[in-house]
Amino acid sequence: MWSSGNNRIRGGLSLLVAGATLGALGTNPAFAQSTSSDSIWSRSNLLGDMGGLRSPLGDHGITLDFNDSENLLGNVSGGVKRGATLQGVTTGSLEVDTGQAFGLEGGRFHVSALQIHGQQLSPSYLDNLQTANGNEARDGTRLWELWYDQAFFNGKADIKLGEQSLDNEFIVSPNSSLFVNTMAGWPMIPSVDLYGGAPAYPLSSLGVRLQVKPTDNQSILAGVFDDNPGGGAFSDDAQMLDNHGTNFNMNTGALWIAEYQYSLPGNFPPGTYKLGGWYDSGYYRDQRYGTDGLSLSNARSNGNAIMHRGNYGIYIVVDQMVWKSQSDSARTLNLFGRVMGAPDAQNEIDFSFNGGVTMTAPLPGRDDDQAGIDFGLARVSSRAAALDRDSGLPVRGTEELLEFTYNAQVMPWLMVQPDLQYIVSPGAGIQDPNDPSRKLRNELVIGLREVTAF
């Protein structure tokens, strides 16, 4: 049951979602117009020129950006318990165009940091696989990325060196990134199967990435990075091992990743297709068997899991416009999907999918808004499920997610996003900690995301 405090949060959550939705949808587009280019209603950042700081920096090729994402989400049905949490992340970045700054053409220097605050919803309230908020992470202030990128051959190739977060370039679906759930950002398989969830938000790793563009509509990305951002055992919390993002670990395995990208030529509706895969040279525990050949749940087992050298995964990403309004060029209908697989012996999740539909300018006069429906699925590997059976636990299968979202561009620097998620078979069918005789019940999550560009 909801406590009195949670009742107040639930009431506030409902009012915020309803008020923000009505307020955002009712905003008159003409209200955002102003005769002043630096009006608070029309500028792209809340702080504008920051008191005259941004313009002189820009004259020297320096870009300074800050944005903040706040997520108020509540579990109103099922799960471990009902309640709501507020969590946010503030991101600051500085980028230098070295050609404009001091004559080194084609170069970019980039540094970014994260300030993560608040309480995560999923660990305490949901215990699901596809965590409800893509910003969920441990509280703290940490370095995120620190790299230098140099272009060659008139931009046909570039190489990036330094601390990098893979989710900024690899396995990216622009349509999927609209959604709030983690599955829509960095996908399920690398999040669960790789050390620390791989070098992806809020983590990063040292490495090198090469990009080649053989034609205007084709790109090849390839890179190698340290596979273990925290530098510890697989079961260790990588964020705790590297509290501030400054460990720069280079003492574990190598994560190789490559992706081919193809965009449809101009006489077709816009569409992008990606095929990729990764290989990790590190060691991974078998999901069921020990070195003595017995199940790890067997009382006679020596408890030492078989260690597999290497791990890999393959994936496909599709983003395709399928319709464009003849009366309103801003209104489009788009399909997207991401499917990936990994071997079952050393991985808890061996298959995942997310996909759905998005619409731009879904309502008259709301050209910058987006709406969408996303379906996500994560499947527990047969080897991991067999260990459940050996242990006498509920045998896990799949967890499904359905998400509905509406992103309203209230002002150029402010987005408000009501969101609803329904999770079927949380944790792929794990035991309910409050009642071991049953599985965890389906969950309904409602909430609001607000993003401000400063």
For residues 291 and 305, the answer to whether their CB atoms sit within 8 Å is yes
Q: For 314, left (φ over 0), alpha (ψ -120 to 50), or beta?
A: beta
Buried b (16+ CB within 10 A) or exposed e, 295-328: bbbeeebeeebbebeebebebbbbbbbeeeeeee
Residue type, 89: V
221 Cβ contact partners less than 8 Å away, ≥ 6 residues apart: 169, 170, 209, 210, 211, 257, 258, 259, 261, 276
Write down the pLDDT at residue 37. Answer: 55
Low-confidence ranges of the chain (pLDDT < 70): 1-37
Tokens 């370095």, located at residue: 143
> SS3 letters for 120-153?
CCHHHHHCCCCCCCCCCCCCEEEEEEEEEEEEEH
Q: Spell out the domains of the chain, with CATH numbers in brackets.
A: 4-453 (2.40.160.180)
Write down the pLDDT at residue 41. Answer: 87
Write down the pLDDT at residue 421. Answer: 99
Q: What is the CA radius of gyration of the chain?
A: 23
Write down the pLDDT at residue 39. Answer: 84
Q: Give the model confidence (pLDDT) of 115-132 as tens digits.
A: 999 999 999 999 999 999
Nearest-angstrom CA–CA distance, 301 and 292: 7
Write down the pLDDT at residue 232. Answer: 93
Cα–Cα distances in angstroms (integers) from residue 352 to residues 87, 377, 431, in the given order: 26, 5, 22
Write down the pLDDT at residue 359. Answer: 98
Taking the whole predicted model, whether its pTM rises above 0.85 is answered as yes
- Collapse the DSSP code of 373 into the 3-class scheme (helix H, G, I; strand E, B; otherwise coil) and give the result: strand
Q: For 229, left (φ over 0), alpha (ψ -120 to 50), or beta?
A: alpha
Q: Is the peptide bond before 202 cis (omega within 30 degrees of 0)?
A: yes
Write down the pLDDT at residue 32. Answer: 36
For residues 448 and 47, the answer to whether their CB atoms sit within 8 Å is no
Q: Give the model confidence (pLDDT) of 346-392 as tens digits.
A: 999 999 999 999 999 999 999 999 999 999 999 999 999 999 999 99
Q: How far is CA 103 from the centre of its chain?
A: 36
